[in-house]
Structure 1
Amino acid sequence: MNLNNKGIRKGLILSAATGLAIGAAGVAGVGAASAATGVQAAATKSLTYNCAYPLIGSRQVKIDIDTNVPAKLGVGQYTNDIQIKFKATIGGDTTDGLKAIGGSTLVGAANAKAAVTGPGQNVSVNVNNAFPETKIPDSGAFTLDGYGEAPAIGFDQAGHVTAALSSMEFTVLVKKADSSPAALGEFKVPCTLASGQDATIVSADIVQGDQPLGDPWQKPGYFPYKPTGAKPGTLNYGFGLAGSSYIKGPNGTVPINGGINVAVDGGTGAITGQLSLQKTKGMMSILGFLPVEATVDFQQVGDTVGTFANGQIKTTSTMYIKLPSFTLFGIPLGGGDQCRAKDPSKIQMQSNDGVFFNPLVGGPFKAPNYSIAELENCGLINGILSIFASQSGNTIDLKLTPKA
């Protein structure tokens, strides 16, 4: 393989790999751009990647790529600068995720890795590309176009050349409506090739005698992408909540209503917030048959903490569970302002596994199991009440609704 002052002539696939970068938003692909002339290698390639976004989780990239690499190149002949065009569609699930982090537009670049195999040379190549600032709709899919290029190449031996893509990493900047960076800042999106695919995007022959190269494409003004270094910020969400808690020991259910306000670190996904639950009442059973009405008060200790990662929220709230009153047919049995569990309960809650939790929509939020410690200061029958109230296996089942 020849070298010249433009750099190593490694990359018949440089152009194609560059194009793959467009997936930066997690997409489902559409038709590729047409070649400039008939001398280009006649293969438009469609490949699918799995890309890991911060906070919102994994999204697929399916993209069709077109290059101006000729189907044949003469020994010792150089191509024009290698160029690619691509067109992709951003899937509706990705749109939801981008809107949830405050996105109005997105812009960026990518670095793709490609393996070039040619006469007398097997090399790995890094390829860069860019896509222009593109509007994110309120919902549904949208298309994204992009462009990439690499230095001209040449080979000094006859033979066959192929180029295959492997991994890639996007650099993405999501902007708010006022053009300032959204809370994720300028972030990286690592992507791996989905299994079961032939990743060859260029296949060409090196032959004797110069070959026609075709006309170069016009370079767009957005290429190359210039990194901004924008830092992550904070996302703020507020939710009303409604549902119930099942108390296993006395076999009773109490309604739960309240709200939570959280701040999410755009760089780490760390959550901090304040959970507020209203005092509630429910029917319990003591000794298996006595219908007792209990008042339950959840008193938070410190902040609710957690994470927003892989499209799922998980939190831990530390709470004293207070029992101000127990009545049997309206007759007080115990309780009082100081009646509570001796130790606070750590209540771990989460949204549904494997389902993207969209903070703009809300959804289920559950504690599959929490414990209540022994009771204290609950009156003459404190011990009896404690036996029935203090157990693990309690659950909470809520729905979070975004505040207006």
Structure 2
Amino acid sequence: MKKKSARLRTGIALGTATGVAVGLAGALGAGTAAAAPAAAAAPSAAAGSSAAAAAKSLTYTCNYPLIGKRQVKVDIETNVPAKLGVGQSSGKIQVTFTATLGADTTSGLGAVDGATIEGAADAKAAITGPGFPNGLNVNIKNAIQPASIPASGSFQLKGYGEAPALTFDEAGPVVAKLGAMDFTILLKKKDGSPAALGTFKAACTQDAGQDPTVVQAEIVEGDQTLPPPLTPPSYFPYTAAPVAPGVLKYGFTLGGKSLIKNANGTVPLKGTIGVDVDGATGAINGDLFLGKTSGQMNILGFLPVTAEVDFEQIGKTVGTYAGGEIATTSTMNIKMPNFLVFGAIPIGGGANCKTSEPSVIKLTSPAGQFFNPKAGGKLGTADYKIAPIKDCGALEGILSLFAAGTGNTIDLDLTPKA
């Protein structure tokens, strides 16, 4: 008999876990949800019923591919009865939810081409009760209501979940506590085609300092009055086939500057960068172009020299887009075709004047700040090396002393191409 009791009490916890998990699945997308169908309204108890709807609010932090962590608040209502008679069927366990998602989630999903969201979730619940005092861990699958993702701002997402009807043959209390959530999500673009992330997995952990109890029920002698059942919405259960990830394409114009430390001078920078980002791994591959530029240097501490600088990319720019931050590596030959004293008198340079070995330039977005490729932002490096120059004329040695060295910096502002 105890084996049967454990199975039935598991069902109650599963039903509640369904609702919370469904709600948190909504956190994986940011959308202006359409109103839930009338049939999926929050359940209410019948007159004289001992089965009042249970409500719970929890916050979770979800880790998304590419864009990083985002928080969601979930409000759940379930028709799990406060009391159920021994031997009485509970009827189907049903849950509705409202997930409140922040503006940072909206911008994050928009950054990876998300215009709508749909999907499923697995909830993990720990249950204690008569017949299994040491607890029992259970999982259940559930669905979220497909929704549109707004251009900006926070929003609410609706959803639904359920578990099979239950019958208990033993009296006593049942408690279920919700743990982590695992999600399977599909974002779609404005044209309805899948976004480049494809069908992706994401994990959500419960924020600290909360009571994770989602069910406290009592099995008693005598049948209880139960609430009327809801009509399940059309999106439940979620059955769409998985979609393979693709490639995100971003293009930027850029402007900024590079400090040449030993020469005590700065050169302005203009150019473009276009990258492909692997939707599964965040790996970056692209081309960085920096236009020819010139800047005022001070050689020997007093001699003003205008140096022309030309960055020539070798191979591709590679890197990652992960946790909402960009990190790239570019390899550049640095050519210096002209050194002019007082802006007019040539003292070195030439068509073959360049660094004796390429410079490896590692550019990153600011740590701890979300880089939205659809909005642009900053990219830079606090240190890159310029090797000694060669084939630059009779004063090459002197010029090299002031051109070469470490501690050089780059600061760029990226603007998305129209």
**TM-score (normalizing by structure 1):** 0.95
Q: Of 313, 319, 324, which residue of structure 1 is paired with 2:326?
A: 313
Root-mean-square deviation (Å): 2.0
Q: Counterpart in 2 of 1:36?
A: 44
Q: Of 317, 338, 356, which residue of structure 2 is paired with 1:342?
A: 356
Q: Which amino acid aligns with 1:116?
A: I
Shift of 1:204: 1.1
Q: Counterpart in 2 of 1:98?
A: 109
Q: Counterpart in 1 of 2:24?
A: 23
Q: Which amino acid aligns with 1:322?
A: K
Q: Counterpart in 2 of 1:324?
A: 337
Q: Secondary structure at 2:304's aligned position in 1? A: strand
Q: Which amino acid aligns with 1:298?
A: F
- Separation (CA, whole Å) in 2 of partners of 1:48 and 1:268: 27
Q: Of 349, 353, 367, which residue of structure 2 is paired with 1:353?
A: 367
Q: Counterpart in 1 of 2:197?
A: 184
Q: Counterpart in 2 of 1:123?
A: 136
Counterparts in 2 of 1:40 and 1:383: CA distance versus 1, 3 Å: farther
Q: Which amino acid aligns with 1:34?
A: A
Shift of 1:48: 0.7
Instruction: Tell me whether 78-87 or 254-263 shows the greater mean CA deviation.
Output: 78-87
Q: Counterpart in 1 of 2:274?
A: 261
| Structure 2 contact 51–224 (Cα < 8 Å) conserved | no
Shift of 1:143: 1.9
Q: What 5-or-longer segments of structure 2 have no aligned partner? A: 34-39
| Structure 1 contact 33–65 (Cα < 8 Å) conserved | no
Q: Which amino acid aligns with 1:396?
A: I
Q: Counterpart in 2 of 1:85?
A: 96
Q: Of 357, 379, 388, which residue of structure 1 is paired with 2:393?
A: 379
- Separation (CA, whole Å) in 1 of partners of 2:124 and 2:284: 35
Q: Which amino acid aligns with 1:182?
A: A
Shift of 1:214: 1.9
Q: Of 58, 67, 70, which residue of structure 2 is paired with 1:59?
A: 70
Q: Counterpart in 2 of 1:13?
A: 13
| Structure 1 contact 41–202 (Cα < 8 Å) conserved | no
Q: Of 286, 296, 304, which residue of structure 1 is paired with 2:317?
A: 304
- Separation (CA, whole Å) in 2 of partners of 1:193 and 1:334: 64
Q: Secondary structure at 1:319's aligned position in 2? A: strand
Q: Size of the alignment, in residue pairs? A: 401
How big is each residue's C-alpha offset from its partner over 1:26-70, in whole Å with a ceiling of 9 and x where there is no partner?
A: 379x9x963321543454111011100001110112101111100
- Separation (CA, whole Å) in 2 of partners of 1:177 and 1:10: 41
Counterparts in 2 of 1:345 and 1:188: CA distance versus 1, 3 Å: same
Q: Counterpart in 1 of 2:121?
A: 110
Counterparts in 2 of 1:127 and 1:41: CA distance versus 1, 3 Å: farther
Q: Counterpart in 1 of 2:83?
A: 72
Q: Secondary structure at 1:154's aligned position in 2? A: coil
- Separation (CA, whole Å) in 2 of partners of 1:249 and 1:297: 18
| Structure 1 contact 77–210 (Cα < 8 Å) conserved | yes
Q: Which amino acid aligns with 1:111?
A: D
Q: Which amino acid aligns with 1:241?
A: L
Q: Secondary structure at 1:392's aligned position in 2? A: strand
- Separation (CA, whole Å) in 2 of partners of 1:145 and 1:336: 67
| Structure 1 contact 2–76 (Cα < 8 Å) conserved | no
**TM-score (normalizing by structure 2):** 0.92
Q: Which amino acid aligns with 2:44?
A: A
